[in-house]
A and B are shown apart, each in its own frame.
Chain A
Amino acid sequence: MNVPVELKYSREHEWVRVEGNRAIIGITDFAQESMGDIVFVELPSVGDTVEAEEPFGVVESVKTASDLYAPVSGEVVEVNNEPVDAPEVINQDPYGKGWMIVVEMSDPSQLENLLSAEQYKAMVEEQA
């Protein structure tokens, strides 16, 4: 299981890469691995706002559909169309080409509620 140390993680298996006031968001390697072949992704549009801990999109594998939860609140300023057009990129490269949205954070202090790589790893191992 790949859990890059420089990222922050939600309990719902999203990752966040912080760049200034912006949060780049995707789903973790553990999440893609547990879902299996991902075949459908629905993301918000640029200009939409997302709320921390509320669904912002959907990812579906052959067998299941799962909501995507926003790790932080803010306005969507970029959306990656690659996983929308070719969802398998999330299986192949969840932390790279499989990124989903960039959020301009309205309350960066929410980052403190997220897990470190170490904490996330411990949580996943406990669930397994």
Chain B
Amino acid sequence: MTEVKRTPLYNAHVAAGAKMVEFGGWLMPVQYEGIIKEHQAVRSAAGLFDVSHMGELKISGRGAREFIQKLITNDVSRLRPGCALYSPMCNPQGGTIDDLLVYQLEDDQYLLVVNAANTEKDYNWVRSQAPATVTIENVSEVTCQLALQGPAAQGILQKITAINLGDIRYFCFVYGRVEGVQCLISRTGYTGEDGFELYFPAEHAEALWQAILAAGQWEGIKPAGLGARDTLRFEACLALYGHELTEEISPLMAGLGWTVKFNKPAFIGREALLKEKEAGPTHRLVGVEMIDRGIPRQGYPLFKEGRQVGWVTSGTFAPTLGKNLALAYVAVEWAATGGELDVMVRHKLLKARIVPKPFYKREV
């Protein structure tokens, strides 16, 4: 593996007392003050995340749209410039290469925002599939991405931009200046809260980071690390690649059937996914709440009547709910809500119950 990369905010994180860890080839802040405090700040006020480790691939040229239509399972024909779409990208077997956001920048120009650890893999895959008229550019290293999330996000950001943020609808974006820095401002996020993601040239990272924190001081904004990002997305039951999604797991099994559009033109993985859909899935992604004391963690097996019927993909103490919860794949015959299962925690079987997803949903 190549050298661990640092985002343009590395020094700012260290100065703020962050604990830095390697994630997806990048040195990232896992926490500043503490995961729970940062988590609660996002639920009740706002948190600012450096997510510059995310990969950005620019796809442009004649036929870009048809090409992306072939690459991903969701339907790009519904996109127009100024909007974004969430989609899995599958291999021919229907397994998930990655899950990503597609931003349509212009008529023949798109931005794919992909998971950090998959950037290189995705870039190579996308290039290997591309027609000659389409250009693919990996702009990850020169793009800084910040996520401002929480109920106070709009109010805070509005103080330092002339763009009317209230006009930006969910999963849409505009170009505009924030504190003098030209940004792509999109109303997206990965926390279950309202909020914005900003994409801009890396050289402005520190100035914008500090300006947003200063603007949100009164509201109680906190810098938030990847630890809180994970617990927040977990409570909202948003899939995390490497946990709920892998090359062996299809979006259908992951409960992302709404992102697989069979009635659009052919796309990679269609045949395999159609077959899986017709046969019915073998496992379903469910929410699990512990009845006995214990915390379920990724990889822990689930049992029913002494037989293994599933496995945990993500699990932790959910700070907003105060419960020990998990996302888990469970054989369909045992996957009904309300059903009881045993989780193997350190060689002991602990009782748990299947509960509805998402665990957390913000009030609108």
Contact = CB atoms under 8 A, between A and B. Distances in A.
Given A37-B36, A40-B324, A63 B30 contact: yes
Given A62-B316, A63-B227, A40 B34 contact: no
A81 B258 CA distance: 47
A36 interface: yes
Contacts of A91: 34
B346 A62 contact: no
Contacts of B231: 62
Interface residues of B, number: 18
A63 B317 CA distance: 9
Contact of A62 (B19, B293, B294, B319): B319
Interface residues of A, number: 12
Contacts, number: 40
B35 interface: yes
A62 B34 CA distance: 10
Contacts of B349: none
A124 interface: no
A46 interface: no
A40 B294 contact: yes
Given A62-B36, A62-B231, A62-B319, A36 B31 contact: yes
B297 interface: yes
Given A62-B227, A62-B319, A63-B30, A37 B295 contact: no
A37 B34 contact: yes
A2 to B, nearest CB: 17
A38 to B, nearest CB: 10
Contacts of A37: 34-36
B317 A39 contact: yes
A60 interface: yes
A122 interface: no
Interface of A: 36-37, 39-40, 42, 58, 60-63, 65, 91
7 closest A-B pairs by CB: A39-B317, A37-B36, A62-B35, A37-B34, A40-B295, A60-B295, A37-B35
7 contacts: A36-B31, A39-B295, A39-B316, A42-B293, A58-B346, A62-B36, A62-B317
